[in-house]
Structure 1
Amino acid sequence: MNKLLILCFAIMMSCTGTTAQKSGNMQSKSEILASESNGGTEKVGFKLIKNQEELKKEITQNFAAAGMEPLMVIPSFPNDKKVVLYNLGRFNSGDHTIREIKSLSVQDNVLYVEVPMYESGGMEIQVLSNPWFIFTVPSGYKFTSVQLKPTK
Protein backbone atom coordinates (compact mmCIF):
# COMPACT_ATOMS: atom_id res chain seq x y z
CA MET A 1 0.00 0.00 0.00
CA ASN A 2 2.84 2.42 0.84
CA LYS A 3 4.53 1.64 -2.47
CA LEU A 4 1.33 2.45 -4.34
CA LEU A 5 0.99 5.81 -2.55
CA ILE A 6 4.62 6.67 -3.26
CA LEU A 7 4.18 5.74 -6.93
CA CYS A 8 1.05 7.91 -7.25
CA PHE A 9 2.80 10.82 -5.53
CA ALA A 10 5.83 10.48 -7.86
CA ILE A 11 3.59 10.48 -10.94
CA MET A 12 1.73 13.59 -9.77
CA MET A 13 4.97 15.43 -9.05
CA SER A 14 6.41 14.59 -12.48
CA CYS A 15 3.24 15.86 -14.21
CA THR A 16 3.21 19.19 -12.40
CA GLY A 17 6.88 19.82 -13.14
CA THR A 18 6.39 19.16 -16.85
CA THR A 19 3.46 21.57 -17.14
CA ALA A 20 5.33 24.49 -15.57
CA GLN A 21 8.34 23.91 -17.80
CA LYS A 22 6.20 23.76 -20.93
CA SER A 23 4.55 27.10 -20.07
CA GLY A 24 7.91 28.85 -19.72
CA ASN A 25 9.06 27.42 -23.05
CA MET A 26 6.01 28.80 -24.86
CA GLN A 27 6.60 32.26 -23.51
CA SER A 28 10.09 32.47 -25.00
CA LYS A 29 8.91 31.20 -28.40
CA SER A 30 6.66 34.16 -29.17
CA GLU A 31 7.84 37.54 -30.37
CA ILE A 32 6.00 40.70 -31.40
CA LEU A 33 7.33 41.85 -34.78
CA ALA A 34 5.13 44.96 -35.15
CA SER A 35 2.40 46.59 -33.06
CA GLU A 36 0.54 49.82 -33.78
CA SER A 37 -2.47 51.64 -32.39
CA ASN A 38 -4.05 52.37 -35.78
CA GLY A 39 -4.31 51.06 -39.33
CA GLY A 40 -6.00 47.72 -38.71
CA THR A 41 -9.47 46.62 -39.75
CA GLU A 42 -12.70 47.52 -37.98
CA LYS A 43 -13.43 43.83 -37.29
CA VAL A 44 -11.48 41.49 -35.04
CA GLY A 45 -9.60 38.85 -37.01
CA PHE A 46 -6.31 37.23 -37.92
CA LYS A 47 -4.30 36.25 -40.97
CA LEU A 48 -1.28 33.98 -41.36
CA ILE A 49 1.61 35.63 -43.16
CA LYS A 50 3.61 33.25 -45.36
CA ASN A 51 6.79 35.08 -46.40
CA GLN A 52 8.88 38.28 -46.27
CA GLU A 53 7.03 39.94 -49.15
CA GLU A 54 3.65 39.42 -47.47
CA LEU A 55 5.04 40.70 -44.16
CA LYS A 56 6.30 43.90 -45.82
CA LYS A 57 3.01 44.33 -47.72
CA GLU A 58 0.85 43.94 -44.57
CA ILE A 59 2.94 46.38 -42.53
CA THR A 60 3.00 49.05 -45.25
CA GLN A 61 -0.76 48.61 -45.97
CA ASN A 62 -1.65 48.97 -42.29
CA PHE A 63 0.42 52.15 -41.98
CA ALA A 64 -1.13 53.47 -45.23
CA ALA A 65 -4.62 52.79 -43.83
CA ALA A 66 -3.71 55.05 -40.90
CA GLY A 67 -2.48 57.70 -43.35
CA MET A 68 1.21 57.25 -42.46
CA GLU A 69 4.41 55.89 -43.90
CA PRO A 70 6.03 52.98 -42.02
CA LEU A 71 8.19 54.46 -39.26
CA MET A 72 9.84 51.14 -38.48
CA VAL A 73 12.36 48.88 -40.14
CA ILE A 74 10.52 45.90 -41.60
CA PRO A 75 11.59 42.88 -39.51
CA SER A 76 13.00 39.82 -41.22
CA PHE A 77 10.65 36.87 -41.63
CA PRO A 78 11.50 33.98 -39.24
CA ASN A 79 11.78 30.71 -41.17
CA ASP A 80 11.17 28.43 -38.17
CA LYS A 81 7.91 30.04 -36.91
CA LYS A 82 4.44 30.98 -38.07
CA VAL A 83 3.73 34.70 -38.36
CA VAL A 84 0.27 36.00 -37.44
CA LEU A 85 -1.33 39.40 -38.14
CA TYR A 86 -4.06 40.10 -35.58
CA ASN A 87 -6.53 42.99 -35.85
CA LEU A 88 -8.06 43.98 -32.51
CA GLY A 89 -11.06 45.76 -34.08
CA ARG A 90 -12.34 49.28 -33.47
CA PHE A 91 -12.04 51.18 -30.18
CA ASN A 92 -13.48 54.57 -29.24
CA SER A 93 -10.61 55.78 -27.08
CA GLY A 94 -7.35 54.85 -25.40
CA ASP A 95 -4.12 53.19 -26.51
CA HIS A 96 -4.77 49.48 -27.11
CA THR A 97 -1.35 48.69 -28.55
CA ILE A 98 -0.10 45.21 -27.60
CA ARG A 99 3.43 45.48 -26.21
CA GLU A 100 3.87 42.06 -24.55
CA ILE A 101 2.73 38.45 -24.95
CA LYS A 102 2.77 36.61 -21.64
CA SER A 103 2.05 33.13 -22.99
CA LEU A 104 0.54 31.12 -25.82
CA SER A 105 -1.52 27.95 -25.80
CA VAL A 106 -3.62 25.99 -28.28
CA GLN A 107 -6.79 24.24 -27.19
CA ASP A 108 -9.50 22.85 -29.50
CA ASN A 109 -7.86 24.53 -32.54
CA VAL A 110 -7.97 27.96 -30.85
CA LEU A 111 -4.73 29.86 -30.27
CA TYR A 112 -5.03 31.69 -26.95
CA VAL A 113 -2.70 34.69 -26.68
CA GLU A 114 -2.32 35.92 -23.11
CA VAL A 115 -1.60 39.66 -23.01
CA PRO A 116 -1.52 42.23 -20.18
CA MET A 117 -4.94 43.70 -19.45
CA TYR A 118 -5.51 47.23 -20.73
CA GLU A 119 -6.07 49.70 -17.89
CA SER A 120 -7.56 53.09 -18.66
CA GLY A 121 -6.05 56.21 -17.17
CA GLY A 122 -9.41 57.92 -16.64
CA MET A 123 -10.63 60.79 -18.80
CA GLU A 124 -9.51 60.22 -22.35
CA ILE A 125 -9.87 62.01 -25.63
CA GLN A 126 -12.42 60.25 -27.83
CA VAL A 127 -10.41 58.99 -30.80
CA LEU A 128 -11.32 56.04 -33.00
CA SER A 129 -8.50 53.54 -33.41
CA ASN A 130 -8.00 50.17 -35.10
CA PRO A 131 -5.00 48.55 -33.39
CA TRP A 132 -3.14 45.61 -34.90
CA PHE A 133 -0.03 43.57 -34.19
CA ILE A 134 2.10 40.93 -35.87
CA PHE A 135 3.61 38.16 -33.77
CA THR A 136 5.25 34.75 -34.10
CA VAL A 137 4.15 31.35 -32.83
CA PRO A 138 5.95 28.00 -32.93
CA SER A 139 5.58 26.36 -36.34
CA GLY A 140 4.04 23.22 -34.82
CA TYR A 141 0.95 25.06 -33.54
CA LYS A 142 -2.21 24.18 -35.47
CA PHE A 143 -5.15 26.56 -35.03
CA THR A 144 -8.15 27.89 -36.94
CA SER A 145 -8.89 30.93 -34.76
CA VAL A 146 -7.07 33.30 -32.40
CA GLN A 147 -8.40 34.70 -29.13
CA LEU A 148 -6.76 37.27 -26.84
CA LYS A 149 -6.82 36.53 -23.10
CA PRO A 150 -6.25 39.73 -21.11
CA THR A 151 -4.67 39.01 -17.71
CA LYS A 152 -3.27 41.12 -14.89
Structure 2
Amino acid sequence: MRRQIKALARQLLPSKTPGAPDTPMRKALRWTKTGVWVLVLVVTLQSVLLVAGAWRNDRQIEANLGVAQAEVLSAGPRRSTIEFVTPDRVTYRPELGVLYPSELATGMRIYVEYDTTDPDLVRVQDRNALLAIIPAGSIAVVGWLIALGALAGLAALERRLN
Protein backbone atom coordinates (compact mmCIF):
# COMPACT_ATOMS: atom_id res chain seq x y z
CA MET A 1 0.00 0.00 0.00
CA ARG A 2 2.78 2.41 0.93
CA ARG A 3 4.59 1.63 -2.34
CA GLN A 4 1.44 2.35 -4.33
CA ILE A 5 1.05 5.74 -2.64
CA LYS A 6 4.68 6.60 -3.34
CA ALA A 7 4.31 5.53 -6.98
CA LEU A 8 1.16 7.62 -7.37
CA ALA A 9 2.85 10.64 -5.76
CA ARG A 10 5.81 10.24 -8.14
CA GLN A 11 3.44 10.32 -11.10
CA LEU A 12 1.41 13.34 -9.94
CA LEU A 13 4.24 15.50 -8.61
CA PRO A 14 6.49 17.38 -11.03
CA SER A 15 9.85 15.59 -11.07
CA LYS A 16 12.50 14.41 -13.48
CA THR A 17 12.25 10.83 -14.66
CA PRO A 18 15.40 8.98 -13.58
CA GLY A 19 17.38 7.62 -16.51
CA ALA A 20 15.33 9.46 -19.16
CA PRO A 21 16.70 12.36 -21.21
CA ASP A 22 15.39 15.79 -20.17
CA THR A 23 13.71 16.73 -23.46
CA PRO A 24 11.73 19.95 -24.02
CA MET A 25 8.49 17.92 -23.93
CA ARG A 26 9.36 16.48 -20.50
CA LYS A 27 10.23 19.97 -19.23
CA ALA A 28 6.90 21.28 -20.54
CA LEU A 29 5.05 18.46 -18.76
CA ARG A 30 6.91 19.22 -15.52
CA TRP A 31 6.07 22.93 -15.76
CA THR A 32 2.45 22.13 -16.58
CA LYS A 33 2.17 19.87 -13.53
CA THR A 34 3.71 22.65 -11.43
CA GLY A 35 1.15 25.10 -12.82
CA VAL A 36 -1.74 22.76 -12.00
CA TRP A 37 -0.46 22.36 -8.42
CA VAL A 38 -0.07 26.12 -8.02
CA LEU A 39 -3.59 26.75 -9.32
CA VAL A 40 -5.23 24.15 -7.08
CA LEU A 41 -3.39 25.51 -4.05
CA VAL A 42 -4.49 29.05 -4.90
CA VAL A 43 -8.12 27.90 -5.25
CA THR A 44 -7.88 26.09 -1.90
CA LEU A 45 -6.35 29.14 -0.23
CA GLN A 46 -9.06 31.32 -1.73
CA SER A 47 -11.75 29.06 -0.25
CA VAL A 48 -10.14 29.13 3.18
CA LEU A 49 -9.80 32.92 3.04
CA LEU A 50 -13.44 33.27 2.02
CA VAL A 51 -14.58 31.50 5.18
CA ALA A 52 -11.99 33.32 7.31
CA GLY A 53 -13.15 36.67 5.93
CA ALA A 54 -16.78 35.88 6.67
CA TRP A 55 -15.86 34.81 10.19
CA ARG A 56 -13.83 38.02 10.69
CA ASN A 57 -16.77 40.15 9.50
CA ASP A 58 -19.07 38.32 11.92
CA ARG A 59 -16.67 38.96 14.82
CA GLN A 60 -16.49 42.65 13.91
CA ILE A 61 -20.28 42.97 13.76
CA GLU A 62 -20.71 41.13 17.06
CA ALA A 63 -18.11 43.36 18.76
CA ASN A 64 -20.12 46.52 17.90
CA LEU A 65 -23.60 45.09 17.39
CA GLY A 66 -26.47 47.22 16.18
CA VAL A 67 -29.85 45.89 15.02
CA ALA A 68 -32.25 47.62 12.66
CA GLN A 69 -35.15 46.92 10.37
CA ALA A 70 -34.22 47.16 6.70
CA GLU A 71 -35.98 47.16 3.37
CA VAL A 72 -34.59 45.09 0.51
CA LEU A 73 -34.21 47.42 -2.48
CA SER A 74 -32.94 44.80 -4.92
CA ALA A 75 -32.35 41.11 -4.38
CA GLY A 76 -30.05 38.58 -6.01
CA PRO A 77 -28.47 35.27 -5.03
CA ARG A 78 -25.02 36.85 -4.46
CA ARG A 79 -25.80 40.49 -3.73
CA SER A 80 -28.79 42.30 -2.32
CA THR A 81 -29.08 46.03 -1.75
CA ILE A 82 -30.81 47.23 1.41
CA GLU A 83 -31.63 50.43 3.22
CA PHE A 84 -31.94 50.80 6.98
CA VAL A 85 -32.22 53.57 9.56
CA THR A 86 -30.08 53.52 12.71
CA PRO A 87 -31.48 54.56 16.12
CA ASP A 88 -29.87 58.00 15.66
CA ARG A 89 -32.06 58.41 12.51
CA VAL A 90 -29.29 58.11 9.92
CA THR A 91 -30.24 56.22 6.76
CA TYR A 92 -27.68 53.79 5.31
CA ARG A 93 -27.47 51.97 2.00
CA PRO A 94 -24.40 49.76 2.33
CA GLU A 95 -22.34 50.08 -0.85
CA LEU A 96 -21.54 46.35 -1.04
CA GLY A 97 -25.01 45.20 0.01
CA VAL A 98 -25.80 42.81 2.82
CA LEU A 99 -23.88 39.67 3.84
CA TYR A 100 -25.63 36.29 3.41
CA PRO A 101 -28.31 37.60 0.98
CA SER A 102 -29.88 34.28 -0.06
CA GLU A 103 -33.67 33.96 -0.08
CA LEU A 104 -34.34 37.70 -0.03
CA ALA A 105 -36.84 39.37 -2.35
CA THR A 106 -37.22 42.99 -3.41
CA GLY A 107 -39.54 44.86 -1.06
CA MET A 108 -39.07 42.52 1.91
CA ARG A 109 -38.66 44.00 5.36
CA ILE A 110 -35.97 42.19 7.30
CA TYR A 111 -33.92 42.70 10.43
CA VAL A 112 -30.21 43.23 10.00
CA GLU A 113 -27.24 43.28 12.32
CA TYR A 114 -24.57 45.86 11.60
CA ASP A 115 -21.28 47.15 12.96
CA THR A 116 -22.08 50.43 14.74
CA THR A 117 -18.57 51.72 14.00
CA ASP A 118 -18.89 50.81 10.28
CA PRO A 119 -22.58 50.66 9.24
CA ASP A 120 -21.57 49.49 5.75
CA LEU A 121 -20.77 46.08 7.32
CA VAL A 122 -24.23 44.48 7.55
CA ARG A 123 -25.59 40.95 7.67
CA VAL A 124 -29.08 39.49 7.72
CA GLN A 125 -30.06 38.82 11.32
CA ASP A 126 -29.44 35.25 12.57
CA ARG A 127 -27.14 34.38 9.65
CA ASN A 128 -23.41 33.85 10.06
CA ALA A 129 -20.18 32.56 8.52
CA LEU A 130 -21.38 28.95 8.63
CA LEU A 131 -23.31 29.77 5.45
CA ALA A 132 -19.99 30.41 3.66
CA ILE A 133 -18.58 26.94 4.34
CA ILE A 134 -20.64 25.01 1.78
CA PRO A 135 -19.96 27.33 -1.20
CA ALA A 136 -16.28 27.68 -0.30
CA GLY A 137 -15.91 23.94 0.27
CA SER A 138 -17.66 23.21 -3.03
CA ILE A 139 -15.24 25.47 -4.90
CA ALA A 140 -12.28 23.72 -3.26
CA VAL A 141 -13.62 20.22 -3.99
CA VAL A 142 -14.36 21.03 -7.64
CA GLY A 143 -10.91 22.60 -7.97
CA TRP A 144 -9.26 19.47 -6.58
CA LEU A 145 -11.30 17.16 -8.83
CA ILE A 146 -10.34 19.16 -11.92
CA ALA A 147 -6.69 19.29 -10.82
CA LEU A 148 -6.53 15.56 -10.13
CA GLY A 149 -8.06 14.85 -13.54
CA ALA A 150 -5.53 17.14 -15.23
CA LEU A 151 -2.64 15.62 -13.28
CA ALA A 152 -3.80 12.09 -14.15
CA GLY A 153 -3.93 13.08 -17.82
CA LEU A 154 -0.45 14.59 -17.63
CA ALA A 155 0.86 11.47 -15.87
CA ALA A 156 -0.61 9.28 -18.61
CA LEU A 157 1.02 11.47 -21.26
CA GLU A 158 4.32 11.22 -19.43
CA ARG A 159 4.05 7.41 -19.30
CA ARG A 160 3.51 7.34 -23.06
CA LEU A 161 6.71 9.36 -23.51
CA ASN A 162 8.63 6.79 -21.48
TM-score, normalization by structure 1: 0.34
Q: Which has the larger radius of gyration?
A: 2
